[in-house]
């Protein structure tokens, strides 16, 4: 997929969406699971009482749904009753809470949990809570990443890191959202052609991929125009680190100052039925991008999704760069739904970025 026309017909490769700066030097990442560690941050603690047992788990070489399946089978609980907040990568070490309804009894013995360890799942702790853990409950994900690069490129990469920390990065959905060679888009278009049904896409993976594609295309357009991180008349803004959004018709010095300190960010559409929220030239630009992918835009509306908005820019929280002999170790937190690969692609060029 090298153009919007090929995207619309679902060919077999995703676009190389434009970066905020020039192409970075070659590098390496995710050489092994320990090079990519993700820790979910809820923003609150379980209450230590109630009918749901929350498991703080660490998984390797498994995706979240595989862990859900294994816990459901081990404790003979219907899969639909197992709660989790976010879907985590397979090729990584990830830590997150998963809840099961257990109204009676105490904490399971270590011997009961032993079979999980052999399957790549460690239960680090267990706590009770009155309610099931719901999707999207967590606020942030913390990343601990190892990257490799050639020593002559160190100064360039350090300069890029400094810029990323001070200015943020384009908030693209990562390639993993679209499946191998973008095949989730192909599946979505096939479902749209015959009428999307929940039973054909129970986790909403294909719908999500199609919606993410439209967002990335709009963000790419604004990156190419050089205004992805600037205020335009008609923009809707997101308050950093929150779900709060607001429309501001007047673009003044105060607004520019808030943008400069990463307090607020312009937003783009997550396509669906209902008004965009943006106005003037921004709304016209967003509609023009959707018009280039009519099968995707119309399919999302027909599937019943309601229009929403997502920040165009991503801010790194608690950033840390530690030099290593072969590259660097990076630490930072991102808001839920953001992709660490969107940060990495501004630092290094590597397959998958």
| 148 vs 8: CA distance, rounded Å | 36
Of 73, 98, 129, the residue that ends a domain is: 129
pLDDT along the chain (353 residues), means of 10: 46 81 96 95 93 96 94 94 93 96 83 90 95 94 98 97 98 93 92 84 87 98 98 96 92 95 98 95 97 96 95 98 97 97 97 89
Going by C-alpha positions, the residue among 163, 343, 315 that lies closest to residue 242 is: 315
> 224, 11 in Cβ contact below 8 A?
no
Q: Is residue 31 part of a domain?
A: no
Q: What is the pLDDT of residue 1?
A: 40
Report how far residue 181's alpha carbon sits from residue 327's, in angstroms, rounded to the nearest whole number: 28
* Residue of 35, 89, 235, 240 marked catalytic: 89
Condensed to tens digits (0 to 9), the pLDDT of residues 12-31 reads: 468 899 999 999 999 999 99
Q: pLDDT by residue (tens digit) across 43-94?
A: 999 999 999 999 999 999 999 999 999 999 999 999 999 999 999 988 899 9
Q: Do 180 and 303 belong to one domain?
A: yes
Domain of residue 239, CATH code = 3.30.2340.10
Residues forming beta bridges with residue 306, ordered by sequence position: 273
Q: Same domain for 253 and 286?
A: yes
Let me know whether 112 and 185 are in one domain: no
Which DSSP category does 284 fall into?
H
Neighbours of 341 (CB within 10 A): 21
Average pLDDT score, the chain: 93
> Does residue 282 form part of some domain?
yes
For residues 55 and 133, what is the distance between their CA atoms, to the nearest angstrom? Answer: 10
Return the pLDDT at 310: 98
Catalytic (active site) residue 89: yes
| Cα distance between residue 127 and residue 54, in whole Å | 5
Shared-domain flag, residues 173 and 310: yes
> Do 122 and 177 have their domain in common?
no
pTM: 0.92
On whether the CB atoms of residues 202 and 193 are closer than 8 A, the answer is no
């Amino acid at each position: 997929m090298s153009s919007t026309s090929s995207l619309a017909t679902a060919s077999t490769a995703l676009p190389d969406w434009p970066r905020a700066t020039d192409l970075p030097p070659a590098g390496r990442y995710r050489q092994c699971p320990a090079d990519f560690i993700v820790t979910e941050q809820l923003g609150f603690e379980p209450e230590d009482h109630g009918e749901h047992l929350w498991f703080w788990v660490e998984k390797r070489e498994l995706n979240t749904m595989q862990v859900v399946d294994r816990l459901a089978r081990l404790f003979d609980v219907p899969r639909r009753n197992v709660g989790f907040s976010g879907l985590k990568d397979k090729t990584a070490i990830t830590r997150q809470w998963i809840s099961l309804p257990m109204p009676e009894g105490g904490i399971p013995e270590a011997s009961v949990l032993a079979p999980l360890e052999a399957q790549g799942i460690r239960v680090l702790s267990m706590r009770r809570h009155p309610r099931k853990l719901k999707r999207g409950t967590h606020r942030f994900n913390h990343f601990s990443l190892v990257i490799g690069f050639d020593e002559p490129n160190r100064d360039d990469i350090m300069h890029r890191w400094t810029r990323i920390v001070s200015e943020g990065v384009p908030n693209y959905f990562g390639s993993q959202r679209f499946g191998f060679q973008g095949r989730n888009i192909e599946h979505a278009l096939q479902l749209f052609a015959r009428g999307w049904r929940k039973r054909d896409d129970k986790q909403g993976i294909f719908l999500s991929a199609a919606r993410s594609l439209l967002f990335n295309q709009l963000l790419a357009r604004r990156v190419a125009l050089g205004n992805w991180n600037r205020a335009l008349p008609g923009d809707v803004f997101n308050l950093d680190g929150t779900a709060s959004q607001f429309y501001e018709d007047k673009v003044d010095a105060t607004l520019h100052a808030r943008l400069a300190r990463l307090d607020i960010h312009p937003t783009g559409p997550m396509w669906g039925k209902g008004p965009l929220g943006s106005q003037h030239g921004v709304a016209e630009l967003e509609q023009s991008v959707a018009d280039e992918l009519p099968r995707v835009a119309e399919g999302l509306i027909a599937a019943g999704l309601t229009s929403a908005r997502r920040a165009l820019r991503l801010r790194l929280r608690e950033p840390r760069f530690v030099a290593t002999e072969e590259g660097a170790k990076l630490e930072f937190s991102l808001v839920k739904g953001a992709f660490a690969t969107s940060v990495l692609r501004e630092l290094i060029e590597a397959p998958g970025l």
